[in-house]
């Protein structure tokens, strides 16, 4: 796995106290194994937006057009979480 993607997934695991090394990311629907609150989901989106903005290597991996524009980074962070984020728990 690419080291930028691995770092992003490790941070995502930290948000739910999950052990990155015990998750099989090749398993279908691996992202349903844990839940997070809507607040933590938004915090992760905010973190990922800033990370993409400041890290050109991460932009290269996740963005089709890796421009350093905050709006583009936010859009990609939203899409990443929509596609691969943990399930949001009620409450």
At residue 67 the predicted structure's pLDDT band, cuts being 50, 70 and 90, is very high
Write out the residue range of the structural domain in which residue 27 sits: 3-88
Please give the DSSP secondary-structure letter assigned to residue 50: H
pLDDT tens string 24-38: 999 999 999 999 999
State residue 91's pLDDT score.
59
Task: Output the six-digit token pair for 91.
Answer: 């409450």
At residue 74 the predicted structure's pLDDT band, cuts being 50, 70 and 90, is very high
How many domains does the chain divide into?
1
Percent of the chain having pLDDT more than 70? 99
């Amino acid at each position: 796995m690419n080291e930028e993607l691995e770092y992003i997934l490790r941070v995502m695991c930290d948000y739910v106290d999950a052990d990155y090394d015990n998750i099989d990311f090749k398993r279908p629907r691996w992202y349903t194994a844990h839940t997070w609150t809507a607040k933590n989901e938004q915090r992760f989106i905010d973190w990922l937006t800033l990370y993409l903005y400041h890290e050109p290597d991460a932009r290269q991996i996740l963005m089709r057009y890796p421009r350093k524009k905050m709006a583009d980074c936010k859009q990609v962070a939203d899409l990443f979480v929509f596609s691969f984020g943990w399930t949001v728990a009620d409450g």
